[in-house]
Amino acid sequence: AQSVTQLDSQVPVFEEAPVELRCNYSSSVSVYLFWYVQYPNQGLQLLLKYLSGSTLVKGINGFEAEFNKSQTSFHLRKPSVHISDTAEYFCAVRNTNAGKSTFGDGTTLTVKP
C-alpha cells in the first residue's frame, strides 16, 4: 500500500515571495512522483514528475521539486510566486509496476498582492 501526506492544507503567501509546498509519501516499493495543479472547477494539470535520474526536477510555470529518498519527501518550490499561482496543488505517487496513482488531500496556495 502507498500513501501521501501533504503537510499543509493551506499556504498563504505574498506575491513575489518564495513558497514551498511539502509532500511526504510512504510505499513499500519503488514509486514515481508527481505534482498537479487544479484551478477551480477544472481538472488536474501536471506540473512536474520524477521518474528516475536527477533528484531535482523542473516543471512548468517556474516550479521545481526535489526528491529525497531517505526522507521520502517530494517538496514543491517556486522562488517567486504570482497571483495566477493561486490554486490547489496535489502531490501523487504511483507504483512503478502499476497504473494506480494515490493522491494527497491537496494544499491550497493563496497568493496575496
The contact set with another protein (CB under 8 A) reads: 4, 32, 36, 41-46, 49, 51, 90, 92, 94, 96, 98-101, 103-106
Contact 41, 53 (CB under 8 A): no
Residue 96 CB, shortest distance to another protein, in Å, is 8
Question: Which CB, 51 or 83, lies closer to another protein?
Answer: 51
- Least CB distance from residue 17 to another protein, whole Å? 25
Place of cell 512536474: 48
CB of 59 to another protein, least distance (A): 12
Nearer to another protein, 28 or 98 (CB): 98
**Sequential DSSP letters for the chain:** -EEEEES-SEEEEETT--EEE-EEEEESS-EEEEEEEE-TTS-EEEEEEE-SS-SEEE-GGG-EEEEETTTTEEEEEESS--GGG-EEEEEEEEETTS--EEE---EEEEEE-
Is the CB of 1 or the CB of 113 nearer to another protein?
Answer: 1
Smallest distance, another protein to C-beta of residue 58, A: 16
